[in-house]
Structure 1
Amino acid sequence: MPSFSFIRSSLSTVVYCIALAVNSLLLTIAIVRRESHWGYVVLLTLLLLYGVLQRFEWRRKQWIQTKESLTKQQVERRRQRLESLGTLASGIAHDLNNLLTPILMSGKMLQRETPNVDRVALADTIVAGATRGADLIAQLLTFARGGDGNQSPVQLAKLLPETGRILERTLPKGISLHVCVDSDLPEVIGDETEMSQLVMNLAINGRDAMNGDGELTIAAERVSFDSEHSCSYTVLPPGDYVRISVTDNGHGIDESIRDRIFEPFFSTKQRGNGTGLGLSTTIGIIQSHRGAIEVETKVGEGTTFHVLLPSVSH
C-alpha cells in the first residue's frame, strides 16, 4: 500500500500540473482576445518558479538518501571486513608462532659465546623470518584498513594468488585450496581491497560448507558476451568480462533458502558464529563495480559462485 507521504506528493504534483495548464490556457485566451493578461504572466512565472524549487528540493532529498545509503553500505562492509579479519587472525596466529620460533632460537644461539656458531647463517634466519612476518602483518593491515572508494585498474592475475596465500592459513588441514588463473587475464576497474574481500567472503563461506574436509577452488577467466547476459539480480550488457569462480564440494544450498542467501543478517550458522553479512556485503561490492553474481549449487555435491566483472577493455 502506498505511504501517506507518497500519496500527498502525487496529489501535489497533479494539482500543480492542473494549475499550470489552466493558467496557460487562460493566458492564451487573454492574448487572443487582446485582454489584459499580465496577471496570468505573473502567476505563470510564480508557478514555474515553484516547480523549479520543488525539483531542486526533490534532487536534494535524493542526494541525501543516496549519501545515507552509501554510508550504510560502507559501515556494513567494514563490519564484515572485521569479521573476516578475525577469521584470518585466528589462522595466521599459528604461522606467526612458527616464524617466531626460529627467530628466538637463533637469537639465543647468538647470545652464546660458542666459537663454532655460524653467526651469519643465524642472522640470515632472523632476517628471513622477520621479513616473512612483516609481509604477513602488512597483508592483514591492508585487508583491515579497507578501500577508500577510489577505483583503479586491478590486476586479478596477481591479486587472486595473493588472496589464496592468505586463505591457506585459515583453512583446516583437511581442505585443499587450488587457485587457477588465466595468464592473460585482463584488468578490471575496482577497489583492490574490496576485490580481495569479496573473494575472501565467498571462500570462507565455502570453507564453512565443507565441515573441515574437501576441496576449495578459486578460478578466473576471460569471457565475452555478444548479447545481453541475464544473471540472478541484473542483466549485463554485451562486452568483455572477467569471471571469478569460487567452488566448494560441501553440502550445497537447499532450494528452500536459496533465494535468501544474500539477505543481510541471514545465516544458517549457529548464533554467535558470524553476523550473516558475508554474502550481502559481497553482492553490494559486486553491484558497486557494475558486475553480477550467479550461483550453481546441488545439495550434497557443492556450490559455485560466479562473479562477473567488466574488464578494462569493456
Structure 2
Amino acid sequence: MEYIDNDIGKMRINLERLSYRISNCLSEFNAHMDTVGHILSEYTHDRKMESIGLMAGGVAHDFRNFIHVIAVNASLIKDSTGDSVTLRRASQIVDVCLKASEIIENMMNLASTDEHPKNRIDLNEEVLNNVHILKELMPEGVLLETDFAADNPHIAGDATQICRVISNLINNAKEALCQDGSISIRTENAVLLEEDCLKHANARPGEFVVLTVSDSGSGIPQHLLPRIYDPFFSTKKRHGNTGFGLAIVYAIVQRHRGWIDVESKEGAGARFSVYFPLIRGDGCIV
C-alpha cells in the first residue's frame, strides 16, 4: 500500500506540473494570438485606407469644380442684389461652399500619393513653433506642457505636413478635454529591437524620434480604438468637427515611413506616440 501511495503522490505532482506547463503554454498562445490579431487589424486598416484614398481622389476633384461654380455664382448674387433676404441666403451659400471646400481639401490630402520633398527637420523646433501659435487658441483652463527630451530630434520630411501632424494631434487632445485639463507634448529618441516591433504591423527595428501627445481628457472607449483613423469618424459631437484630423495624421505619418502607437482608457485620457525614422548628421536615415 505504501508503494501505491508513493506512486499516486508522484503522479499527482507530475499532473500538477503538467497542468502548470499547459496553462503557461495557453497563456503564451493567447498572447501571441492577440499580437497576430492586432497586426492583422493594422494591415486590414492600411488596405482600407488605400481603398478610401483611391475613391476620395476620384470624386474630390470633380466636387471641387462643382463647389467652385456654386460659390462664384453665389458671390455674384451677393454683390448685385439689394434685397436683404437674397443677400442673407447668398451669404449662407458662400459659407457652406467654404466648409465643403475644406472637406474636399481634406479628402484630396488623404488621397494624395505625391512625393513631397524631404528636408532635414528639427522636430523640437517644429513642436515649439506650433505650441507658440496654438497656446493662444487654448481655453483658459487648459495647460499646455512640453518636454524636449530628444537630444537628436532630426527627421527627414516635409515641414508643412509635419506641422499638420503636430497641430492636428494637439487639437485632437484639446477637443478631448471638457473645459479644464492638461496636454503634454514630448519628443524623445528611441532605439527599437525586433522584439519591440511585434505588436505593430508597420514597426521595424532602428533609431527613431518619437513625438508623444497626451491629454487628461475623457479617453477613448476600447471598442472605438480600431476606428479612430477612419475618415469622417469622430468621438466628439461638436459643431464643425469633420472627423478628418486623425485620418490625415495617419496618412502623413505613413508617407514618412512612420507609425502611430495609441494608448487610451475611457475616463483616463489618451496618448498618441508617433515614430519617425531618425536622420543622422550625414543625412542618412538610421
- Normalised TM-score (structure 1): 0.52
Which residue in 2 is equivalent to 1:207? Answer: 174
Match of 1:186 among 146, 153, 156: 153
What does residue 252 of structure 1 align with?
219
Residue type at the aligned position of 2:264: T
Aligned counterparts of 2:178 and 2:276: Cα–Cα separation in 1: 30
Q: Deviations over 1:53-105 (max 9, x none)?
A: xxxxxxxxxxxx99x849939x79xx9xxxxxxxxxxxxxxxxxxxxxxxxxx
Give the alignment of 1:2-41 within 5 angstroms. Answer: none
Summarize the alignment of residues 66-105 of structure 1 with structure 2, pairs less than 5 Å apart. 69=54, 72=57
Between 1 and 2, higher relative CO (CA 8 Å, sep ≥ 6) is seen in 2
Q: Using the alignment, how far apart are the partners of 1:278 and 1:150 within structure 2? A: 22
Contact 1:156 1:185 (C-alpha < 8 Å) held by counterparts: no
Among all aligned residue pairs of Structure 1 and Structure 2, give the percentage whose two residues are the same amino acid.
Answer: 31
Matched, 1:225 2:210: no
* Structure-2 residue corresponding to 1:9: none
Aligned residues: 181
Q: Which residue of 2 aligns with 1:279?
A: 246
Give the Cα separation in 2 of the matches to 1:165 and 1:231: 37
Q: What's the C-alpha RMSD, in Å, of the aligned pairs?
A: 3.0
Q: Report matched runs for 1:152-167 at 5 Å.
A: 152-167=119-134
Within 2, Cα distance between the matches of 1:200 and 1:70? Answer: 26
Aligned to 1:171: 138
1:216 maps to 2:201: no
Letter in 2 for 1:248: D
8 Å contact kept, 2:150–2:209: no
C-alpha separation between the residues in 1 aligned to 2:269 and 2:250?
A: 20
The letter of the residue matching 1:72 is: G
Query: Using the alignment, how far apart are the partners of 1:231 and 1:163 within structure 2?
Result: 33
Contact 2:118 2:158 in 1 (8 A): yes
Contact 1:296 1:305 in 2 (8 A): yes
Work out the CA distance in 2 between the residues paired with 1:206 and 1:252.
Answer: 10
Q: 1:245 to 1:163 in 2, by over 3 A?
A: same
Q: 1:265 to 1:249 in 2, by over 3 A?
A: same
Tell whether the 8 Å contact from 1:154 to 1:189 is kept in structure 2 after alignment. yes
Distance 1:189 1:269 in 2: 33
State which of 253, 261, 264 in structure 2 corresponds to 1:297. Answer: 264
TM-score (norm: length of structure 2) = 0.57
Tell me the SS of whatever aligns to 2:57.
helix
**Structure 2: where are the runs of 5+ without partners?**
1-49, 65-108, 281-285
Provide Cα deviations, 1:118-163, integer angstroms capped at 9, x if missing partner.
xxxxxxxxxxxxxxxxxxxxxxxxxxxx998211110112111111
**Distance across 1 between alignment mates of 2:271 and 2:184:** 9
What is the CA-CA distance between 1:285 and the residue it aligns to?
Answer: 0.4
Q: Which runs of 5+ in 1 are unaligned?
A: 1-64, 80-145
SS where residue 236 of structure 1 aligns?
coil
Alignment CA distance shift 1:271-1:207 (3 Å): closer
Query: Relative to structure 1, is the Cα distance of residues 154 and 204 closer, same or farther in structure 2, using a 3 angstrom cutoff?
Result: same
Distance apart, 1:255 and its partner CA: 1.4
Q: 1:272 to 1:159 in 2, by over 3 A?
A: same
